[in-house]
């Protein structure tokens, strides 16, 4: 048996990995690059590369405006229906549109207006900055305020702390399910139940969960959700985002960006707005067909591999990283800035270091290792089980080690 910290051990793990063949389904343009940033931008599926030519040349080039009646108009709900299977939603509860930030704005304003007499939105300090800005803007617009629950350790926010501020003035609770910096995963069921007990609606940002951490919105009783497609779904840079509205809420909520494609019978070109029934009212304008279509190959790969297997490998790989940190990186000044318990951790490992920024830059420039850096001192090492190898993770640890000990 090779030593745990050896390259041979990492190679042995790769040889025994039942998801290993999925790596071949992605373009690996630089075989020596250690890419541990799939939690920011996923790799390019080969099927998307093939599709891109067909989309541009055949669909746009040849079919021209006829394309709208040949599938373009349904792309958003059809691919949304596939994403629904990854997050425990019905196929009529998810659609793709706009960016995560815009979807968050639409749903948070809609939620505030559906709870008249209540003025507060509750979130936590671990939420993504864009979410904090958008939620604050939504609260302002509706004459309310945003309450941001702090994190004592910068890694977690306990349910108790959230519950403490959930009074009868709270209209909406909105959190990232897996938080972007520490990868802390909230207990979706418990937090949603607490929000409901306070009479508030619950909105989840699934950007760092979808495609890597199993989610069951229906079982949790969640009301609303948003999330992006360019991380673990490998949908491409700036890919359109998705939104979820629980079926029984759809008729009660109004999209504040009431554009023509969210109207009932948009092709009546009527000057008056009348919301479409169901989820379609949350579409505002013309869908970005090329970007939307490019999301499907990545989603198909996740469905084919299965979230259970993806999650199992993700836990094994983040555990591998943490064990190596314990033995080799901790003595060099790295601290673990992610939860130690895998049940509370998403698919990346955050390592803090006093010289985090310098180390991160050197990893990229000198070692051909791409993680990412989040101020003030956190290096995030992302695991994307469909293509991340143990050999890559070994390379990342070796580089982190050499740099911090002044050898690299
Ligand atoms: C949790 C989370 N929410 C929202 C966003 C912003 O998404 P968008 O740029 O699509 O609005 C990000 C981006 O990384 C994110 O990580």
pLDDT, tens digit (0-9, with 9 covering 90-100), for 390-402: 999 999 999 999 9
Active site residue 380: yes
**Nearest to residue 236, comparing CAs of 23, 42, 100?**
42
Of the residues 82, 118, 281, 380, which is catalytic? Answer: 380
Q: Which residue has the tokens 């699934």?
A: 206
374 lines ligand 1 (CB under 6 A): no
What is the rounded CA–CA span in Å between residue 293 and residue 302?
Answer: 16
**How far is ligand 1, taken at its centre, from the CA of residue 374, in Å?**
14
Pocket flag, ligand 1, residue 37 (CB < 6 Å):
no
> What's the pLDDT tens digit per position in 78-89?
999 999 999 999
Quote the pLDDT of residue 406.
Answer: 83
Determine contact, residues 329/404, Cβ cutoff 8 Å: yes
The answer to whether residue 128 is catalytic is yes
Task: Give how far Cα 150 sits from Cα of 49, 51, 96, 258, 379, Å.
Answer: 43, 45, 31, 34, 21
Question: Does the CB atom of residue 179 touch ligand 1 within 6 A?
Answer: no
Mean pLDDT of 306-310: 98
Contacts 24+ apart (CB under 8 A), 359-364: 359/400, 359/403, 359/404, 362/403, 362/408, 363/396, 363/399, 363/400, 363/403
pLDDT tens sequence across 209-253? 999 999 999 999 999 999 999 999 999 999 999 999 999 999 999
Q: Which 8-state DSSP code applies to residue 48?
A: H
Task: Give the number of the atom of ligand 1 that is nearest the alpha carbon of residue 40.
Answer: 14
**C-beta 228 within 6 A of ligand 1:** yes
- What is the residue whose two structure tokens read 């709270």? 170
At residue 407, the pLDDT reads: 66
Q: How far is the CA of 406 from the centre of ligand 1 (A)?
A: 35
Q: Is the CB of 124 under 6 A from ligand 1?
A: no
User: Average pLDDT, stretch 308-323?
Assistant: 98
Nearest to 60 by CA among 364, 290, 266: 290
% of the chain residues with pLDDT over 90? 99
pLDDT digits (tens, 9 = 90+) for 91-135: 999 999 999 999 999 999 999 999 999 999 999 999 999 999 999
Place of tokens 């897996």: 178
Distance from Cα 226 to the centre of ligand 1, integer Å: 9
Q: Which residue has the tokens 């969960």?
A: 209
Catalytically annotated residue among 26, 230, 232, 242: 230
Q: Is 130 in the pocket of ligand 1 (CB under 6 A)?
A: yes
**Nearest CA residue ID for atom 14, ligand 1:** 40
User: Does the pLDDT of residue 408 top 90, yes or no?
Assistant: no
180 lines ligand 1 (CB under 6 A): yes
C-alpha torsion angle, residues 45, 46, 52, 58 (rounded to 10): -140
The ligand 1 atom nearest the CA atom of 241: 10
Tokens of 242: 């998705």
Q: Is 35 helix (H, G, I), strand (E, B) or coil?
A: strand
Q: For this structure, is 282 an active site residue?
A: no
Q: How far is the CA of 261 from the centre of ligand 1 (A)?
A: 24
Contact between 237 and 257 under an 8 Å Cβ cutoff? The reply is no
Write down the catalytic residue from 26, 105, 128, 387.
128
Q: How far is the CA of 151 from the centre of ligand 1 (A)?
A: 20
Q: How far is the CA of 228 from the centre of ligand 1 (A)?
A: 7
pLDDT at 14 over 80: yes
Per-residue pLDDT, averaged over 181-186, amounts to: 98
182 touches ligand 1 (CB under 6 Å): no
Do residues 270 and 345 make contact, with C-beta atoms less than 8 angstroms apart?
A: no
> What does 268-298 look like in DSSP terms, one character per residue?
G--SS--BPSGGGGG--S---HHHHHTTHHH
Give me the phi and psi of 178, to 5 degrees please.
-105, 125
Atom 8 in ligand 1: which residue has the minimum CA distance? 100
Q: What is the mean pLDDT of the chain?
A: 97
Sign of dihedral through CA atoms 121, 123, 128, 133? positive
Active site residue 136: no
21 phi, psi to nearest 5 deg: -70, -15
Is the peptide bond prior to 376 cis by the omega test (within 30 degrees of 0)?
yes
- Is pLDDT of 294 > 80? yes
223 lines ligand 1 (CB under 6 A): no
Burial 351-377 (b: 16+ CB within 10 A, else e): bbbeebbebbebbeeebebbbbbbeeb
**Model's pTM, two decimal places?**
0.98
């Amino acid at each position: 048996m090779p030593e745990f910290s050896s390259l041979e051990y990492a190679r042995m793990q790769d040889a025994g990995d039942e998801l290993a063949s999925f790596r071949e389904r992605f373009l690996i343009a630089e075989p020596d690059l250690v890419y541990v940033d799939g939690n920011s931008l996923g790799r390019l599926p080969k099927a998307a590369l093939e599709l891109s030519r067909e989309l541009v040349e055949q669909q746009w080039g040849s079919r021209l405006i006829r394309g709208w009646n040949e599938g373009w108009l349904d792309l958003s709900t059809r691919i949304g229906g596939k994403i629904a299977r990854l997050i425990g939603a019905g196929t009529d509860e998810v659609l793709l549109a706009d960016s995560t930030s815009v979807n968050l704005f639409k749903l948070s304003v809609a939620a505030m207006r559906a709870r008249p007499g209540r003025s507060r939105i509750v979130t936590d300090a671990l939420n993504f900055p864009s979410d904090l800005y958008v939620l604050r803007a939504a609260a302002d617009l509706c004459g309310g305020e945003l309450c941001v629950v702090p994190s004592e350790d910068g890694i977690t926010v306990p349910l108790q702390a959230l519950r403490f501020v959930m009074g009868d003035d709270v209209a909406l609770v909105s959190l990232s399910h897996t938080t972007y910096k520490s990868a802390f995963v909230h207990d979706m069921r418990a937090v949603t139940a607490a929000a409901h007990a306070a009479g508030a609606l619950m909105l989840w940002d699934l950007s760092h969960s979808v495609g890597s951490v199993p989610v069951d919105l229906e079982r949790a009783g969640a009301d609303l959700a948003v999330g992006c497609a360019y991380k673990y779904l490998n949908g491409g840079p700036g890919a359109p985002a998705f939104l979820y509205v629980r079926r029984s809420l759809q008729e009660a909520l109004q999209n504040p960006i009431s554009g023509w494609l969210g109207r009932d019978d948009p092709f009546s070109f009527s000057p008056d707005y009348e919301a479409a029934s169901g989820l379609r009212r949350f579409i505002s304008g013309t869908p970005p067909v090329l970007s939307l279509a490019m999301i499907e190959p990545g989603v198909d790969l996740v469905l084919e591999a299965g979230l259970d297997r993806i999650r199992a490998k993700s836990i094994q790989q983040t555990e591998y990283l943490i064990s190596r940190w314990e033995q080799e990186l901790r003595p060099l000044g790295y601290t673990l800035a992610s939860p130690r318990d895998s049940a509370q951790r998403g698919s990346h490992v955050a390592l803090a270091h006093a010289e985090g920024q310098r180390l991160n830059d050197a990893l990229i420039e000198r070692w051909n290792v791409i993680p990412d850096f989040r101020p003030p001192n956190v290096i995030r090492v992302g695991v994307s089980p469909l293509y991340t190898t143990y050999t890559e993770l070994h390379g990342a640890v070796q580089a982190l080690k050499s740099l911090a000990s002044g050898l690299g």
